[in-house]
Structure 1
């Protein structure tokens, strides 16, 4: 068991994610002893935060209709910041796994710990982490902390501490704010599974300092993140205790001890061209008679709208990507269509979010002759994690096709 995991819909630059090796990041717990799971979880919530900022949770469709999900490594180039870079030179010997465990156990309220796991700063590019099963006398709960760096002021830093959009990530409480020292802290009380198929709760704290130090704390109301029965009503630490644990100054020193090549931020060295117009274009192209009940906040190349035609809510998502000709063979198979102007079109109709019976997703994937890709999907549910609200999506395949092929997308640059 560990602190890192989850595959969730994309919420960042999908074009870059597609160019990476496709596949989920349900990491084998036995094989990696939880390596990579905290990072995956942070990516999941960063994607949710990006959705709150306007990026779509759009799943990419590959050949044969298979979902291409982002790998568990950094998922997309982030916008680099002109702000000061985080410390790259370790100020002390790399923190060891044993040190992390002792610190975590010392900072926890009085109780018993077991199931200790840890990894030091010099052991893996995935970064240092520590995990214990903690029991305060009211039942066992897993608690873990992982450390790393992000580029100060970058999109990644913002997304790490932004509350996710409930259209894609359900939760009971989320708050984000600035501390007196300039650090940003997000406290989130959510669930291990977005569809709530089990009652495992997952609460977390994400701290990003002005220097780019990133502290991530997670806890569950079970002895393991997955595969263990719920052992208490809520995770063991309340919000105040979770904040106290995440803001402990000792973690920041440990971050500074991470070797440069192990703890460098995942931000891109240069900022990509800002893209605008996705939301505006999507809303303008929606068929008449649809009431828009929710929409993405920012007007970027990834957008969504939740519509209702009087028969129930339906989520519609779109993503515009630049030159994607290098993966055209993976996206458009023998059953795809090529129009007279060279545009390729693929249609996919299949199940939606895993675990939600009756939820379907209809997708029209298009690529212009110059490689510009416009992919749009519609669901028969208002979110990707809730039960179906209607028999079919509010838009037909023909309507999705008309939207995707509209020349108005050429203005989204």
Structure 2
């Protein structure tokens, strides 16, 4: 007997639309100055302050279309895409590392495409992994106490993907994928002892990855004391903290921030929250955080009230993916975590991140249409 369908969760939909709206406004505010005066990208014309706004509006439109499309399909029918999706996205992660194939930007090779038409395979993989794990774990919940039969394949996928993504390099996305996998394994019923060992092993690998790369060690020292070298290794963190601190309670006013005027790097992407805090103050920054908390709360409620395990694990996966990524980004921007490049979901400028994040929301809203219903 089919599940009864109802309206999607309104608060999830509202929180995402509000975050998306804030993002579009702040992408324009944070990018207009450098877009007008920019000289570092030969593909952009100097004097066009609206270039990033137009692109973000286009990205948002595509993302909303993807969200609505995914929301309308019965999520049970999406199971057929789980296996081919994870295989294709894994192959793309490997292909991107072939010399001459992947597009390198600021020393990182994370994109495939031609000219302005670029896509980030790691964003595809995040969503594909959630779909695959939801199907795989829901069919093997009776085996989750066994490391070999329940956990081995998910961990192999996670480990292989994280290694490929670290080669790009992209520590933030690798941490998001690892965190999402662990949360989904926990939700599926894995032993706490197994998860504790995995977390411990993961921390050892992260430390090793930091120690073996001089630039990551420099970031750790800059994290511990960014003011020791404020013009070099600590520059990003120092400028971010200055922007946040200058915002005060109510901010300096929308559009009146100074950090975006070539002081703060990545002002419209990874560090956009610093511009939000400067221009909208503690009130604006807190509002953004509360919207993310609302999203996570409602997402977990959908997971708990889902009538079957596949939908429940889908909801857990999407919610944890967005929540963990937001925590990492906010931690970096506020100096609570070492600098690593990762966007703030729904807010930062970026095509792939926004498109696949909104597609993930479509999955969550899809599950919410059946949450609490009877068969």
Q: Which bracket does the TM-score occupy, shorter chain normalised?
A: under 0.3
Structure with bigger helix share is 2
Query: Rg bigger for which structure?
Result: 1
If the length of structure 2 is used for normalisation, what is the TM-score? Answer: 0.22
**TM-score, normalised by the number of residues in structure 1:** 0.20
